[in-house]
Structure 1
Amino acid sequence: MNYRITHRTTYAYSSRVAVSHHAARLRPRDTDTQRCIEFGLSFDPEPDLLTEHTDSFGNQVACFSIQKLHARFEVVSRSLVTLAPVLQPDPAQTPPWEQVAALFRDPVPVDLLDPCQFVFRSPLLVHEMPLRDFALPSFKPGRPVLAAVADLCSRIHREFVFDPKATTISTPLAEVLEKKRGVCQDFAHLAIASLRAMGLPARYISGYLRTHPPAGKPRLVGVDASHAWAACFVPGFGWVDFDPTNDCFTSLDHITVAIGRDFSDVSPVRGIITGGGKHSVEVGVDVEPVGGA
């Protein structure tokens, strides 16, 4: 499956900005089942400085500075990505969740040190008893770990309402848990924090989700979305991605861009500015199947 992706982020300021510094994580990752064949960034205005590096999670980061007066700024990424089917393990054939959690208590085997970093609290996610209490019904004694994850995923989808107006980027997870409303970022955070509360490694994934038009309707340009989901580490299988917003394991509709402990590690575009007053931001994403698939 091939996709051509356009991601446009536009900032408008009420007064002119003198200097701005930004970091963007917009290049789709290369994985066992995904390859980024083409990638490019364009800017308006053009940055005065531009550098690139790879962060500690393997994400490509573009850092750029604009050192001239501007009242508007736009960055556009264009990618061509190819995906192969993901071979998902049978949840019933995965090891018991208690056995997996035990591997990540001291002493941790050397070959598990990388996933071990995703067991601990992170900038936006802390261990709280309500999260363990929320997770426990899915984690029956001896239950295979991916069967428990699938049940947790279904419960989040069933018990929480997708509501773009209910939360912001800064809404605490405790409030999401109380109101039972939020967006994909909130549901990914909830799943990750719940798994970590059970002693299991879980990480955050940002990317794109291809949307399907209603039957008989044409595909609309620009209505696809940035998306967020989660992954759990399963010994013998590796990382297994799942999407609590849509109650599924990931498929050919999910395109991975960045991986981290939580959203703070993978924000698509973030920065600091001098001046600018109030500002607004608009984001548009188009995920176009190549060949009309």
Structure 2
Amino acid sequence: MTAGRVGTSRETVTLPILSVRHRTTYRYRRPVAFGEHRIMFRPRDSYDQRLIAATLDITPEPASQRWLFDVFGNCVAVTTFDIRAEVLTFDCGITLDHTPEHAPVFPLAPHATHYPFGYGAEDMPDLARSIERQWPDPRHEVDAWARSFLPPQGRIPTQELLAAMTRSVRANFTYLARAEKGVQDPLTTLRTKLGSCRDFAVLMMEGVRALGMAARFVSGYLYNPRNDRARHVGGGSTHAWLQVYLPGAGWVEFDPTNGIVGNRDLIRVAVARDPAQAVPLHGSFFGLSSDDLGMRVDVNVVELPADGTTAHSLQGLPTPLAR
């Protein structure tokens, strides 16, 4: 297998073939029964990432497995089990080609090149829920943070505004891999300047929404090139960032954890209005809470060599979580 090539009148761009290995393991003190599990590991096919192959191995073997598209068009596997076990493992392998955007300049509609701008009447019914604030901000702290990126008067280039917000989080906040489920309050993230990738994504989503723009949550994987001097943070597990809807360009990626504008090194799996709608793996077991010994997530993303072989070295991120 070799990397694809895209020819243009000015240059030829080599597209990397990426291989993802994602393993989640749950352990229990004694054999337990399992409820339904919903799995969102399969990347979304798009013009900038093409799925070549995908496998999903589950141990113990499920009694049933079916696939569906959720309300956002994400691909979801739903499994049930009819046996008890002390260990439950989900092992996913993915191969895809990825078209990275380096220092992208987005083709915005003329009226949206500078902020503030408005959305067309035909788009508003579909964007309205993505513009609504999801978290309380009684003292308008997130509002003030978002507006700190605006000039005292006049307009600002839209891409410059969003890039500044993205890179400000990278420069002024400290990444913290949290084992707790869910997302922390954006006010906590803003006040402490500490958080995980999902916390930073939600803070920026709320900031963007405070400015009247539509934003949605993205879960997926992060590729860290071997020759990248500034190593990305948030690898070794699943990753999270956001998209903002910009007229003329559509949904555009922003990763505040790493200060990335555009899709460079980001592999989309699921998009949603709220992070709770894009949980990579969700399920239940029947037993005592003390039976749960926690879970471990291992994710490794590598670029395939020209001969197509894959050498994964899983360096896991242990995350003991109650389920």
1:35 maps to a residue whose letter is: R
Kindly state the Cα deviation for residue 117 of structure 1 after the two structures are TM-superposed: 3.0
Q: Judge conservation of contact 2:133–2:210 (CA < 8 Å) in 1.
A: no
- 1:220 aligned residue: none
Q: List 4+ stretches of structure 1 deviating above 6 A.
A: none
Question: What is the CA–CA distance in structure 2 between the aligned matches of 1:165 and 1:40, rounded to whole Å?
Answer: 28
Residue correspondence of structure 1 range 119-158 to structure 2 within 5 A: 119-122=131-134, 125-126=135-136, 129-140=140-151, 141-158=154-171
- Residue pairs, 1:89-104, within 5 angstroms: 89=105, 94-100=112-118, 103=119
Conserved? CA contact 2:106–2:249, under 8 Å: no
TM-score calculated relative to the size of structure 2: 0.79
User: What are the Cα deviations for residues 26-45 of structure 1, in whole angstroms up to 9, with x where unaligned?
Assistant: 10101121111111210000
Structure 2: any 5+ residue segments left out of the alignment? 1-15, 230-234, 309-323
Contact 1:211 1:224 in 2 (8 A): no
- AA matched with 2:242: A
TM-score when normalising by structure 1: 0.86
Secondary structure of the equivalent of 1:26?
A: coil
Q: Structure 2 vs 1, CA of residues 253 and 113 (structure 1 numbering), >3 Å: closer, same or farther?
A: same
CA distance in structure 2 between the aligned counterparts of 1:229 and 1:165, rounded to whole angstroms: 16
- 1:90 deviates by 5.0
1:270 counterpart residue number = 282
Supply the distance in 1 between the matched residues of 2:166 and 2:181 (Cα, whole angstroms).
22
Taking only the aligned residue pairs, the percentage that are identical comes to: 28
1:81 to partner: Cα distance? 0.7
Residues 214/291 of structure 1: CA separation in 2 closer, same or farther (3 Å cut):
closer
Report how far residue 156 of structure 1 moved: 1.2
**What letter is aligned with 2:55?**
G
Pick which of 268-277 and 35-44 moved more. Answer: 268-277
Report Cα offsets for 1:148-188 as digits up to 9, x if no partner. 11111121112211122596534322222221101111111
Question: RMSD of the alignment, in Å?
Answer: 2.5
Choose between structure 1 and 2 for higher RCO, CA contacts under 8 A separated by at least 6 residues. 1
Contact preservation (8 Å) 1:86, 1:251: yes
Match of 2:126 among 103, 114, 120: 114
* 2:107–2:249 contact (8 Å) kept in structure 1: no
- 1:209 equivalent in alignment to 2:227: no
1:48 partnered with 2:63: yes
Deviation at 1:112, TM superposition (A): 4.4
Counterpart residue number, 1:219: none
Q: Which runs of 5+ in 1 are unaligned?
A: 217-222
CA pair 279-50 structure 1, distance change in 2 beyond 3 A: same
The answer to whether structure 1 residue 160 and structure 2 residue 173 are counterparts is yes
Between the aligned partners of 2:252 and 2:264, the Cα distance in structure 1 is 14
Q: Is residue 42–residue 77 contact of structure 1 (8 Å, CA) maintained in 2?
A: yes
1:23 is aligned to 38
The CA distance in 2 between the partners of 1:158 and 1:252, in whole Å, is 18
How far apart, in 2, do the equivalents of 1:30 and 1:166 lie?
Answer: 30
Post-superposition CA distance 1:119-165 (Å, at most 9, x none): 1244xx45552111111111334112221111111211122111225
SS of 1:110's equivalent in the other structure is: coil
Query: Structure 1 residue 242 and structure 2 residue 254: aligned?
Result: yes
Contact 2:100 2:265 in 1 (8 A): no
